[in-house]
Structure 1
Amino acid sequence: MEQFFRLKEMNTTVRTEVVAGITTFLTMVYIVIVNPAILSSAGVPFEQVFMATIIAAVVGTLYMAFFANYPIAIAPGMGMNAYFASVVATQGVSYQVVFGTVFLSGLIFILLSFTKLRETLIESIPSALKYGITSGIGLFIAFIGLKMTGIVVPNPATMVAFGDLHEPVTLLSLTGLFITLILMARKLNGALFIGMVITAIIGLFTGFLKFEGIVSAPPVPVVFDLDLAGVFTHGLYTVVFAFLLVTIFDTTGTMIGVAEQAGLMKGNHFPRAKSALMADAVASTVGASLGTSPTSAYIESSAGVAAGGRTGLTSVVVAVLFIISMFFSPAISAISSLPAITGPVLIIVGCFMMEGLTRIDWKTFDEAFPAFVIMLSMPLTSSIATGIAIGFVTYPLMKLVSGKGREVHPILYFFGILFAIQMAFFPAH
């Protein structure tokens, strides 16, 4: 094992890697609760999402461990699960059709991993759009968290308004949010997970959380519960592209960030990048075939790196702990059904995703406005795809009229025209 993962060469030990793996797992295990909570709201059976979430995480993380030898964990990504639910709600299609879009985007991601097109796509899209997309998703999922918990409520006059603090679940949600924020401020490893546990304990003593069991045999996975034909029947090409684009940006950025933190980058070169990206692509495809939204590399992996993780052995430990969590589906089902436990996580993760705003040149209007309009449109239209489309139309147009048209890559003009036609003649309803 030491030779396979090159522990001595990476100046680490088995004990250090195990501790790092446990640390990473504790910081990201919330996804096992939050993902089923979000996707079950779109009609997907809880047990199906629960097993698909864990299996996708195990497949992607083990692939990362054995083929790329990185301490980076893979699991269904936050933001994409919320977008999945919104597509089911707004497009009038079944969740099986949306799983078809996830499966297709995963296959395209796998194919792109064998070509230079992936690098070309990443390099051609300007930072303003990349960071605008990530930040827009952050606002989108934070807004969903606020709605779930009743902190904001519908209002005919103003669209939304502040919720009623006399509502017990809203009060419990705010309590859980502030507890978790305190833990985050104290930089406690696993703060999100520990905050959920404390909130669950409060919910248990106040009667809002009821357990019908703690441990049971893992639910039987449902295989290929997806509808590929429906993707083409309903013309959900923009949705496929949205899943693909966000997954590529999110995964690539996270992997490079964690690799830099661990000192694994060789200058600007990301060693074994193809294998690392393939881990995410394979996990997304497997996850879609079983019943979950696209996967992504988890920035929480940085907690494990901070604890000393440097090799794929850290990822193996994470995968083993995910497998163990399969046996706790009754407890996780009860916890995920209480919005006060899962909602605060969405709000805080939304904040994490705003980090890229500092990298946008806000003093240059033709850079700033496309990013701004992406962030504005995603939560207000409840559609990540719409936000991406508006950004891709606005950016090249503004550069063109500013006399900076040559700064824009031809791919952006192509997608800008494509999205303009789609929004004008084939709008999503």
Structure 2
Amino acid sequence: MGLVQAYSLRALWAEETRYDKVADHMARNRYEKLASHIHFTDNSTVMEEEKKNKLWKIAPWLDGLKTSLTKLPQEEFSAVDEIMIPFKGRSDIKQFMRNKPHKWGFKMWGRAGASGILYEFDVYQGASVTSDDGLSKSSQVVIKMTSNIPLGLNFKVFADNFFSSLPLVKTLQSKRIFYVGTVRVNRLKGLELKSEKELKTDGSRGAFDHAIEVNSGVVAVRWYDNRTVDLLSSYIGVEPVTEVQRYEKKNKRIIKVSCPAIVKEYNKFMGGIDLHDMLTALYRFPLKAKRWYVYIFYYTIHMMVVNAWLRYRKHAQLLQVKPVMKLAVFQARLASQLVLPTVTVGRPRSLSVSPRPTPGSTAQYRRKVPPRETRLDGLYHPQEYGSTRNRCKLNGCDSLTYVKCRKCDSLPYNGRPAYLHFWRF
């Protein structure tokens, strides 16, 4: 449904706009009934204490996803940022964010690697009580999102000025987790930097200044490009200074501007969440529901599809597998595997019939086999002995055998189970 957009959901079953890959696998009324009755917890067994969690209706699903994400191998560089789930209905946790493409919806905190793989997420339910460790509410989000990072292995975390503060950098530094992020001016107490006016007179565009916190070694850098930007880091500073190209509007030409190393590092590794968010929005199916938490459920499905594709792409690059499937092809194959289709092999018995026989037609293909991904997945292919002998399905084998695959037997196999002369799963 995400790859083939329709003007409405029912159009996929309508006679004029029917889409076979959806309509042939489930009736419209059955789909609508299942979608309207889906639940994630038994309302009658939920205690009043559990209902203090505003997400209690979908909490088991979210907890299961978070647990599975902890098993992923972590990247050295990851970024913490916001994710917006589009929603305009009624809900206590709906948020408005002016600068987002979708201004209304559910806000989530997330941490993703530089490759875009999501490692942690948490749906925002409203402001929480400030802890006694001196950290602001926004800084506590970073601490929560980095709870699964292995300690003492010098991992790096990036975030924008909404989260950054000196206490946060020091707290992460005590866990040997290094930090780089932009920071607001009022959070640089004790670190004196040149003002924007002074940087303009020093060298105009490309000028910078830095200061070091004596006790912790945290570096604060102020860089002047079109305007000043302030950054904090616990592992990188100004050096080495490189040059970047900028367009000078006054003289209408390209100029080279000095750029501190901390700026280049931030721009390189900060976009993990934005990349994941962009990929999630590419082929998202436009489903609607009356219950607000179902929107979160649908969105998390897309998040996991993108995660799976990003991991596949990383492994394909390591194994030098070419060509690498695009996200649309990957999503299509994943959907095909979930509905267990069959692949037709060979020409039709009659050339006069169409490749897709009309209802009532007796025309068939020579043989049908499960998709290659199902046959070679290496998962649960137990053998069993049938009561009659049938032709072996292995290419080039004309022998008869009683042995068949119990898993492939459940697939539409042209009326016959998958008989194998030799066991190869």
TM-score w.r.t. length of structure 1: 0.19
Larger radius of gyration: 2
TM-score w.r.t. length of structure 2: 0.19
**Larger fraction in helix:** 1
